[in-house]
């Protein structure tokens, strides 16, 4: 029996979580975790697999014989831009855990804005007991842009919580019981949307799509006063100067931003601590590292048994 | 056709919401909204119905001929303590809107604690981009005490969000697919519970049930470090001195409190602004005033047509 190819791991996650996740993973196969200085300068040629997230710039010039590259996350725009990415199958991480975590974040942020959490926290800080007029979820339409696995799961859970939901994707998608809109119907979609949730991949078509023009077309008829922008997709999809202007002018009444044009977000960014803006450091759907390695193992097993890989990326579409 | 009896409305809600809610309500019947000074000193004898929430102390000595009293909320402990409450049917407000609003609050607060919102807000305030190790909902067991309409709806929605859920009520209740515990099994229930959600009515049996002894029996094996206490039921069920001690000693890792022993919460209460404690002013499930009046009208119609009233209170049980 031939020796199994090692797996290169180059994940810029929390190092301890990667180490813990690797315990017991890839049984019968060497793991080369590049976070470990012991591998510095090691010859990586002849190795078949790499699992990467924000990997070292010289990875692909060192690992010249990769047969499959695995992305450590659902989005692959970071991976597609890596210098020297070889022309081999690129596999996205599609995982129950990643999907449910994103929905946790989306539902929590829709509820934070619905339930006026910021206003109540300000009152608590001032020791003020005062109730505010409170719409219920059924009075709010959440418009989700991006109807992949993440968007569909978020919609299903928002509906259970009582929100009205509608969906948008470039090409029309049919989702059970949900009104959906395509590229040509963007205006109609925006005109109905009180809370806009972005779960789009970053592609040439979605770059900068969340801009002043789009924000100005959102519904202003909602019970909540002004529309809210919630982005759990990619920072490159938003024009941050426009988000800021819209928040300051009241075109947007609030925002939840997990992603930014430049990450980490600059120390002096005005988004930090803005009123009714929740900033999180790209953690909406952190990959569960153990689940990632289980998913990679399953795909490697398929690959070595001659079965087609699942969740491969269409590089032209960008997702 | 005899003239229809007027309806007395004595609701200490937001006055404008009551006024708005009354527009178009109780068609063909006079409404006596006691918030309107025009009714001061008016003779209220001979009137059949009153809708009350924290009503005036002299209401029942003025309205001596009531046939039905309607509570403006799901809980009736406030109403049961009203001086001179006549021995006539007392009807609770059971409403889709009230239930879904409570579940919004419960799910949001479970997500806030799961997703380490307080820690991320502190980092945002300090302009610090740092991700934290993040368990997912499936790693947390939410134990719900109180398995009435509110508890069952909350459990169903927490499950959809991925949480493990268990339930407790004094007498065993069977809820589809959920492990439930009764009075004798309280220890077993607490030993499995990471997030404790209180949705109990206030009765002699539930008064002070959330105390030091109970908190000390909660699970400390959870991934989140220390258990969390979330009370959307009644303030009288919690011993606030014990909640404070438990939070300060780390027996509890956090709390969400919508209800208090004394409301409004005192200006100098230490709960305001405590770390990882969310305080809201008894708004988890504000009654939707329009829905309340629709529900009352429906019951009056049943009553006048000789049909049995629904959602009447068992005064011995207290709910």
For residue A96, the model assigns a pLDDT of 87
B272 chain-A contacts, CB cut-off 8 A? 124-125, 127
Minimum-distance CB partner of B100 among A120, A137, A265 = A137
Q: Cβ–Cβ of B138/A100 closer than 8 Å?
A: yes
Q: Known catalytic residues of B?
A: 234, 282
Q: Cβ–Cβ of B108/A103 closer than 8 Å?
A: no
* Nearest chain A CA: its distance from B285 CA (Å): 9
The residue of A115, A139, A258 whose CB has the most chain B CBs within 10 angstroms, and thus the best one to mutate to test that interface, is A115
pLDDT per position as a tens digit, B37-67: 999 999 999 999 999 998 888 999 999 999 9
For residue A176, the model assigns a pLDDT of 80
Dihedral over Cα of B223, B224, B226, B228: its sign:
negative
Q: What phi and psi, each to the nearest 5 degrees, are found at residue B278?
A: -105, 120
Minimum-distance CB partner of A115 among B108, B137, B160 = B108
pLDDT band at residue B176 using 50, 70 and 90 as cut-offs: confident
pLDDT per position as a tens digit, A221-259: 888 889 999 999 999 999 999 999 999 999 999 999 999
pLDDT band at residue B93 using 50, 70 and 90 as cut-offs: very high
pLDDT per position as a tens digit, A22-80: 999 999 999 999 999 999 999 999 999 999 998 888 999 999 999 999 999 888 888 89
> How many beta carbons lie within 10 A of that of residue B46, not counting itself?
11
pLDDT band at residue B2 using 50, 70 and 90 as cut-offs: low
CB B5 within 8 A of CB B48: yes
**Interchain CB contact of B113 with A (< 8 Å):** no
For residue A227, the model assigns a pLDDT of 98
Q: For residue A73, what are the CA distances in angstroms to A7, A40, A104, A286, B298? A: 17, 25, 17, 8, 53
pTM: 0.88
Q: Cβ–Cβ of A137/B273 closer than 8 Å?
A: no
For residue A144, the model assigns a pLDDT of 98
**Interchain CB contact of B117 with A (< 8 Å):** yes
* Nearest chain B CA: its distance from A265 CA (Å): 7
pLDDT band at residue A286 using 50, 70 and 90 as cut-offs: confident
Burial class (CB in 10 A: 0-12, 13-18, 19+), B33: middle
Q: Cβ–Cβ of B123/A281 closer than 8 Å?
A: yes
pLDDT per position as a tens digit, B6-49: 999 999 999 999 999 999 999 999 999 999 999 999 999 999 99
Which A residues 186-215 touch B at CB under 8 Å? none
Q: Which long-range contacts (CB under 8 A, 24 or more apart) does A34-42 make?
A: A34/A8, A34/A9, A34/A10, A34/A59, A35/A9, A35/A10, A35/A11
pLDDT band at residue B75 using 50, 70 and 90 as cut-offs: confident
Q: Cβ–Cβ of B278/A121 closer than 8 Å?
A: yes
Question: Which residues are CB-neighbours of B149 under 8 A, at least 6 positions away?
Answer: B74, B94, B99
- The helix/strand/coil state of B185 is helix
Residue B1 has pLDDT above 70, yes or no: no
B162 is written with which tokens? Answer: 């991925």
């Amino acid at each position: 029996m031939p020796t199994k190819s090692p797996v290169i791991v180059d994940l810029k996650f929390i190092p301890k979580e990667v180490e813990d996740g690797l315990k017991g993973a890839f049984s019968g196969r060497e793991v080369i975790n590049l976070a470990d200085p012991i591998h510095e300068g090691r010859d990586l040629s002849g190795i078949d697999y790499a699992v990467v997230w924000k990997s070292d710039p010289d990875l692909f010039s060192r690992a010249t014989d990769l047969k499959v590259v695995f992305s450590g996350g659902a989005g692959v725009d970071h991976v597609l831009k890596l210098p020297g990415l070889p022309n081999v199958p690129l596999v996205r991480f599609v995982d129950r855990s990643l999907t449910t975590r994103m929905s946790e974040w989306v539902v929590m942020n829709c509820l934070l804005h619905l339930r006026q959490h910021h206003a109540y926290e300000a009152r608590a800080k001032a020791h003020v007991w005062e109730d505010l007029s409170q719409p219920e979820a059924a009075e709010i339409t959440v418009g989700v842009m991006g109807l992949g696995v993440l968007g569909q799961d978020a919609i299903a859970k928002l509906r259970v919580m009582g929100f009205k939901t509608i969906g948008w994707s470039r090409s029309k998608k049919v989702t059970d019981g949900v009104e959906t809109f395509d590229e040509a119907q963007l205006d109609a979609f925006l005109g109905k949307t009180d809370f806009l949730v972005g779960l789009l991949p970053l592609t040439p078509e979605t770059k900068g799509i969340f801009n002043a023009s789009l924000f100005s077309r959102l519904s202003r008829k909602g019970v909540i006063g002004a529309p809210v922008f919630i982005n759990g997709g990619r920072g490159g999809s938003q024009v941050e100067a426009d988000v800021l202007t819209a928040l300051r002018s009241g075109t947007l009444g609030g925002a939840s931003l997990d992603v930014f044009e430049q990450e980490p977000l600059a120390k002096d960014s005005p988004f930090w601590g803005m009123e009714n803006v929740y900033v999180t450091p790209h953690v909406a759907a952190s990959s569960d590292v153990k689940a990632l390695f289980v998913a990679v193992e399953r795909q490697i097993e398929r690959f070595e048994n001659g079965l087609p890989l699942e969740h491969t990326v269409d590089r032209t579409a960008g997702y």
